[in-house]
Structure 1
Amino acid sequence: MALSSTLVPCFLTNSVQTFSSKKRSISVTPIRAKVGENSMQYRKLGDSELTISEITIGTMTFGEQNTEKEAHDILGYAFENGINALDTSEAYPIPMKKETQGRTDLYIASWMKSRPRDKIILATKVCGYSERSSYIRDNAKVLRVDAANVRESVEKSLKRLNTDYIDLLQIHWPDRYVALFGEFTYDPSKWRPSVPFVEQLKIFQELIDEGKVRYIGVSNETSYGVMEFVHAAKVEGLPKIVSIQNNYSLLFRCHFEVDLVEVCHPNNCNIGLLAYSPLGGGSLTGKYFDINSEAAKKGRLYLFPGYMERYNKSISREATEKYIELAKAHGLSPVQLALGFARDRPFMTSSIIGATSVDQLKEDIDAFMTAERPLPAEVMAGIEDIFKRYKDPAII
């Protein structure tokens, strides 16, 4: 059912204490860091019963930039320091290619063998519409978010991950046309027929009933998409999305702040934000200013020419310089400023942080924990002054 021009009120589902299936009844218990001023904090993810750490470990470099041992070391350090959630995808590692697709999950699976499964919040993603990634499916030339594609995706993910359930299954990008990955303006000429929202939710309902999936979410989604999913769930009695994984950082704010904040607010749809790229693909660290530095040469923007090039545009670099100057003026590192800003947003549930080494992850976690909570008012005022001059410079 389509929405009318008037937004339909959203709803909150009744809470349950455990996840039940024909096989088990489990409850995910977060691993707690030491209690103190700078200890990890945990938040409820939307309407779910998942209590998720304010940092989620991103894994998209595993199998491309990281070896299996390096992946294990990174995951081990993350969970030893209070992180209880990891995010993967059937598409990983990134950049996507047939030769490496799914390798990330295999590295995660071998690490999880020595870990209590109920201490891990495992999130993964099913690909949205794609005409270029048919190698991911056995018998599909075009990827869609339909029953056959979603079921095959989940069955293969479960096998690779060597687990019998997924805590959070997300649609990586929509089945319908939307402006993606740095695009800002919706192009009506690119509209195409898509799988109805109700049909998408019905296959997720089946997987939840079978105990293979606990909760569902979306990624790279718009306000229209969130509202349609929530409305379809309410009207048809189908599972409600509990999360949205979207790009959010000092360099990419408007897409979420303009109206998704209202839609996702706890008093409205209660959808938890899992923010990816809070460091702007690493650009907000300032490491790419010296292209000959070791840090720059190990970075994705250097290793994969053309990848996320929106962060290398002159205006993005100019804005990044201003944020780094602001950080230094207040005795903060660039990482403390960028991650502290994302951490303190009132609509933030968890920031997804990726790292290609334990040292890098340690720096990120330390910066996240040691930046004054919340960032001082004068720092936030400085951020807003820069934002007024450089609104979302990473937009293509």
Structure 2
Amino acid sequence: MGKAKFYDTALKQERAVLVGVIKPGEKPEQTKEYLDELAFLVDTAGGVVDQIFTQKMQRPDRSTFVGTGKLEEIKGYVQSEEIDMVVFDDELSPSQLRNIERELQVKILDRSNLILDIFAGRAQTAQAKTQVELAQLQYLLPRLTRLWTHLERQKGGIGMRGPGETQIESDRRMILEKISLLKERLKLIDKQNETQRKNRAQLIRVALVGYTNVGKSTIMNMLAKSEVFAENKLFATLDTTVRKVVIDNLPFLLSDTVGFIRKLPHHLVECFKSTLDEVREADILIHVVDVSHESFEDQINVVNETLQELGARDKDTIMVFNKIDAYVSPEGEEDENGERKTLTLEDFKKSWMAQHNAPALFISALHKENLEEFKQLLYDKVIAVHTARYPYDSLLY
């Protein structure tokens, strides 16, 4: 008998090359931060980053995003290393996408397309699936022509132009009809959700907000004693989760929302505004910050800008600086031995973070550090809103 053959049925990870443009006034560490995040997005989508290419430019090239010399360099690497896809850090126009794809002959994605792909893989509920599909179709619509580039490769393009155009117009009409259908479906889902929210209206509502991957779901699990999916990936939580929480006999509703991110595709922001109604209609926001992240201040700004866009910037907010166990001081703030310092809880309470963000709390949700102070402050906030709204009930608490 011959030896048995074994086949590796595991899906091969797609290898990716990242491309970014360094604009005037942009610091090298800022560019690195953006591309590190893009690499994390690729990892979340199931790929692996093989190489990163950057180019200093006044603005991205209108036809190929990067210069022709840089594109040739990328092409050489892609061919020699048999790379599967090239991912650009900014949204590409339909013509840029078409030109780059023609030149490199591999799959081309931009940041928006990559985020949409991750959202499509994460969507669980009918609402999230509908929102993602709508955003994908809105993204695809102006880029339809790239699907028909195979017609250009045929000899005698005259005579083929008509059927190609007809097919594109047919596809465009089908997509527009589907977009209209999905918008109607979302309106129906929104009405159902609005009814659910009205039924919960008597309870005070608290919403967790923050950049993606800062630990919101871990805090949700800790406070609500529930099992909300949490992992070290971007957009681990996509659907809004609402749980009833009780602290010292005081019940309130806590919602965990989709994490924010810089350069979030406009289509996604529009489509997910209904999901973020939990933020708009909340009485109190808990803004969770990953204090161990090198660019946590930038992340705070991104969240505040998104809250502004949602009309929720002025809500009563508790700043919660999470992951204090993983914090190390920035470069340039080393101790006498030249090592980057860690901070104690008392150090954090005396820091600029505490002084400029009142009220501010410093916790480690993973290691359950300083959670009692967090719960007490949250209780005080909720009882204050409850007392103002239901003065006759205040005697019960």
Please indicate the TM-score interval, normalised by the length of the shorter structure.
under 0.3
Larger radius of gyration: 2
Q: Which has the higher contact order (CA 8 A, sep 6+)?
A: 1
Choose between structure 1 and 2: higher helix proportion.
2
